[in-house]
Structure 1
Amino acid sequence: MAVKVMIADDHSMIREGLKQLLELEGDFEVIAEACDGVDCLEKLKTVVPDILLLDINMPNMNGLEVLQKMKDMKMKVKVLVLTVHNEVEYLLKAVDIGVNGYLLKDSESAELKKAILAVVNGEDYIQPSLIPVLNSKMLDRDSDSSKIESLTRRELEVLKMLSYGTYNKEIAEHLNISERTVKNHVSNIFKKIGVTDRTQAAVFAIRNNLITI
């Protein structure tokens, strides 16, 4: 039985090209197409593909937003992101949300079919060239997690406030502690997270979603 595929991409030529490529040998059947994120979610209410090929750059709602909505709505459709983006930040975000596969659009047709079948059969499939960078980023994230866990509740409060550009005197007044105590907290924070100034501390806080900007 052919694998039922849905394609979500805002370029009609790409959708048509993928459809012809996949249906050439009869192993796959494209049962639906979507031209943007909103269209994609609407069609998923009436069709149930075995796998969704999802582009990231789409109007109205991008692919990562669609992925998050699908997770929130508890849709069980397998998703393979098919994108031009080789930046690991996009991949990390997709992995965090719960994507089943991530493949670049310049991949060979054989690899695309391999990725689709892997995902449909319950495996995860990540573009091989991106795996070393992904692993490195995940290790960095694990390292950051251990640093965050080493901070006390008060140190986390101080870190968040200084990351917003708050001066020591203002932090002291807000937390009802002495300015000297704030300085001690800042010094301990710098040592624990491995930074040397307030700017680096702010970057650390933003990278780990401790504050929003």
Structure 2
Amino acid sequence: MIRVLIADDHHVVRRGLLFFLKTQKDIEVVGEAKNGIEAVELVETLRPDIVLMDLVMPEMDGIQATKRIKMRWPEVYVLMLTSFSDKDHVLPAIEAGASGYQLKDIEPDELVNSIRQIMRGENTIHPEATTQLEEGLREEENKPHVQNPLTPREQDVLAELTKGKSNREIASSLFVTEKTVKTHISNLFTKLQVQDRTQAALYAVKHGLTEGSGQ
């Protein structure tokens, strides 16, 4: 039996899924959650094989819940079941660890097939979501810091710059001269295609570059 947990804040959606999945001989619905916090709690107590996870829910959304579930119970699969197919939702869901991404207009039989596919270790993503995922990945590849990778030292300087430090403070922190810091900052502006320190700091925050290289 495939043990399924349904996580959705809409009672009607949960009822509909429960009603249909009960007709499947190899599927057992073991619980229902109406938000992400409940989903995490129920995974801990019920240990389902797979969670049908809504994306937008109160208290904790599906992406945060998926991250927590996959961090603590990596063997539990998550299938996103949502109304959103844009890359701003698809990419974070896949990055959070979801094994599948389907839209709520999916045919019931297709949904069951998706559940079975995931249990066989296969990923299953709605065609619309796949298109958005590919576009998002292309955009990622075109970002300045991907096309022009930063050196470890440039990463360190950027991390310090993001903390609002002056050239003198950065030089002191990294045990280099101010002249060296200026050179690195000039290179950073060119590589990241930014005009000043504020833009560089914003870029770093937006793209997760606020940590140094660790070297």
Q: TM (normalized to structure 2)?
A: 0.78
Could you tell which deviates more after superposition, 35-44 or 119-128? 35-44
Query: Which residue is 2:65 aligned to?
Result: 66
Query: Which residue is 1:202 aligned to?
Result: 201
Contact 1:147/1:193, CA 8 A, preserved across alignment: no
Contact 2:51/2:78, CA 8 A, preserved across alignment: yes
CA distance in 2, matches of 1:195, 1:134: 27
Could you tell which deviates more after superposition, 131-140 or 98-107? 131-140
Number of residues of Structure 1 aligned to a counterpart in Structure 2:
210
Query: Which residue is 1:115 aligned to?
Result: 114
Q: Give a deviation string over 1:148-167, Cα, whole Å, max 9, x none.
A: 7x423332233234445555
Could you tell which deviates more after superposition, 43-52 or 128-137? 43-52
Deviation at 1:118, TM superposition (A): 1.6
CA distance in 2, matches of 1:127, 1:202: 36
Residue ranges of structure 1 left out of the alignment (5+ in a row): none
Paired letter, 2:90: L
Supply the RMSD in Å over aligned alpha carbons. 3.0
Query: Which residue is 2:192 aligned to?
Result: 193
Paired letter, 2:4: V
Paired letter, 1:17: G
**3-state DSSP class of the match of 2:46?**
coil
Residue ranges of structure 2 left out of the alignment (5+ in a row): none
CA distance in 2, matches of 1:200, 1:103: 37
Paired letter, 1:98: G
Deviation at 1:126, TM superposition (A): 1.4
Paired letter, 1:115: S
Contact 2:86/2:132, CA 8 A, preserved across alignment: no
Paired letter, 2:56: N
Q: TM (normalized to structure 1)?
A: 0.78
**3-state DSSP class of the match of 1:134?**
helix
The share of aligned pairs that are identical, in percent, is 39
CA distance in 2, matches of 1:11, 1:117: 24
CA distance in 1, matches of 2:147, 2:76: 36
Query: Which residue is 2:27 aligned to?
Result: 28
Contact 2:30/2:48, CA 8 A, preserved across alignment: yes
Deviation at 1:74, TM superposition (A): 2.7
Alignment of 1:33-112 (within 5 A): 33-112=32-111
Could you tell which deviates more after superposition, 121-130 or 60-69? 60-69
